[in-house]
């Protein structure tokens, strides 16, 4: 019968973490520094050095009984390390997908930049407007075209061209125009006839 019991015994596989917990329970402080082979040998000797009846923890008792019934002990890799390896494998395609989204965002950014540049071009074209002459140059224009011309007619034309300006200030400006053109622009053409109308000298 003893021979048949020995044949029934199987290899016991235990993780290193679980073995370390078992050794810490029995105050083996240096167990963490042991190699797998040394740990396997120490585990096989545990039931001989400890009385199972004295052990109160049911889980520890069960492990010791398994060691006694095993033909040999093997330190297996922990399940946590296997899970971590799988997580790393699955993480790779996720990184690729992130890169794709970044590329799409860059393309969209380029499109928006192009649209913005087009808008800027249109703005610059709309800003270009023809400049209208000021009050003084307008007076010179009216005198050259319609002279001799009275002050009232010049004022009426100025009011039509500059509706936002006060007629009183423009009326005061008209008699100053000949002197202003002479001193600032060197134009000495504006004259006044006997009737008080302005004309341009040829």
Confidence bin at 52 (pLDDT 50/70/90): confident
Q: Is the pLDDT of residue 57 over 70?
A: yes
CATH number (domain holding residue 173): 1.10.10
Most confident of the following: 16-30, 32-46, 114-128, 144-158: 144-158
- In a domain? residue 94: no
Cα separation, 1 vs 106, whole angstroms: 78
Cβ contacts of 12-16, under 8 Å, gap ≥ 24? 12/66, 12/67, 12/69, 12/70, 12/72, 12/73, 12/74, 13/74, 13/76, 14/43, 14/63, 14/73, 14/74, 14/75, 14/76, 15/75, 15/76, 15/77, 15/78, 15/79, 16/75, 16/76, 16/77, 16/78
- In a domain? residue 122: no
- In a domain? residue 99: no
Tell me the residue range of the domain where 56 lies: 9-79
First vs last Cα of the chain: how many Å apart? 147
CA nearest to 197, candidates 155, 151, 154, 159: 151
- In a domain? residue 91: no
pLDDT score recorded for residue 48:
81
List pLDDT tens digits, range 107-149: 555 555 555 555 555 454 444 444 567 889 999 999 999 989 9
- In a domain? residue 107: no
Cα separation, 67 vs 74, whole angstroms: 11
Global pTM?
0.36
pLDDT score recorded for residue 111:
54
Boundary (domain end) residue, out of 31, 56, 79: 79
Indicate the number of domains in the chain: 2
pLDDT score recorded for residue 149:
92
Boundary (domain end) residue, out of 44, 63, 79: 79
- In a domain? residue 119: no
Most confident of the following: 36-50, 74-88, 157-171: 157-171
């Amino acid at each position: 019968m003893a021979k048949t019991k020995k044949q029934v015994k199987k290899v016991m596989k235990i993780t290193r973490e679980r073995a370390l917990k078992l050794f810490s329970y029995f105050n083996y402080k240096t167990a963490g520094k042991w190699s797998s082979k040394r740990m396997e040998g120490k585990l096989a000797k545990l039931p001989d050095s400890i009385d199972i009846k004295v052990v109160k923890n049911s889980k520890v008792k069960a492990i010791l009984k398994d060691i006694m019934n095993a033909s040999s002990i093997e330190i297996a890799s922990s399940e946590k390390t296997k899970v971590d390896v799988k997580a790393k494998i699955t993480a790779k395609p996720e990184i690729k997908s992130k890169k794709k989204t970044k590329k799409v965002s860059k393309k969209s950014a380029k499109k928006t930049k192009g649209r913005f540049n087009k808008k800027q071009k249109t703005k610059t074209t709309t800003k270009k407007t023809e400049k209208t002459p000021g009050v003084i140059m307008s007076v010179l224009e009216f005198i050259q075209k319609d002279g001799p011309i009275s002050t009232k007619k010049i004022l009426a034309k100025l009011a039509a061209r500059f509706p936002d300006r006060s007629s009183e200030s423009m009326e005061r400006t008209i008699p100053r125009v000949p002197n202003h053109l002479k001193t600032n622009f060197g134009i000495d053409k504006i004259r006044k006839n006997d009737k008080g109308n302005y004309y341009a000298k040829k």
